[in-house]
Amino acid sequence: MNPDLTQDLSFVHLIVNASVPVQIVMLLLLGASLMSWWFIFIKLFALKRAKRVTERFEREFWGGGDINAMYQRVSAERGSAGEMERIFEAGFREFMKLRRQAGLSVNVIIDGTRRAMRATYQRELDNLESHLAFLATVGSVSPYVGLFGTVWGIMIAFMGLSSVAQATLAQVAPGIAEALIATAMGLFAAIPAVVGYNRYTHDIDRLANRMESFMEEFSNILQRQATKAA
């Protein structure tokens, strides 16, 4: 094999000598890939913590602990509390506030409590889903961006042959290779983003189901308390 041809087709050489539009495409894909990996790791640690804190609170809550004591603890640690703990704190705070108001029926108190928990639940869910839209965008758009770079590179390669009397593989190969690198980088950016998006969407859905179940069960507990006190 000709050593000059091997050198010309090296990865770094092809990127450095690629046309400006292809280099811009590669730079965009590299930036998207780096940001995707950053969000993937951030979300990985955030969801691990969310699951760990949720399981700890569920064990405490369903272990027969005092609700008032748990409320005081969560209120004092609200900044570091988990998603389900903040839902509990918002619901119980609204419940106590409505119970102090005279003339309110049990249904009105419980409806207000559920609305407070639902609003907090939505905020917590939005926070858990942050950055997922970026991963979805990178996963769906990156292959097409890479394909644009490939088409452009192949077009430039064939345009360069217009002034050549006889085309050879050595003349075509560099242009084709630099074009295919753009496609490879598009896939390199898209695949981890898609895998991360699908995995984290599944984990967030499971957490959301657990939080919704807790809201319904906690509402039933508070309704029984309010009915007994009425």
Residue 113 Cα distances to 26, 29, 101, 194, 219, angstroms: 52, 47, 13, 38, 7
Structural domain including 111 reads 3-229
How does pLDDT run across 139-178, given as a tens digit for each residue?
Answer: 999 999 998 888 888 887 777 666 665 656 666 666 777 7
Q: Is the pLDDT of residue 120 over 70?
A: yes
Q: Is residue 130 within 8 Å of 116, Cβ to Cβ?
A: no
Nearest residue to 36 (alpha-carbon basis) of 138, 128, 130:
138
Supply the pLDDT for residue 207: 95
**Composition of the chain by helix, strand, coil, percent to 5:** 85, 0, 15
Mean pLDDT taken over the chain: 86
Both structure tokens of 94: 């609204």
How does pLDDT run across 169-215, given as a tens digit for each residue?
Answer: 666 666 777 778 888 889 999 999 999 999 999 999 999 999 999 99
- Structurally, the chain folds into a number of domains equal to 1
Q: Is residue 150 within 8 Å of 178, Cβ to Cβ?
A: no
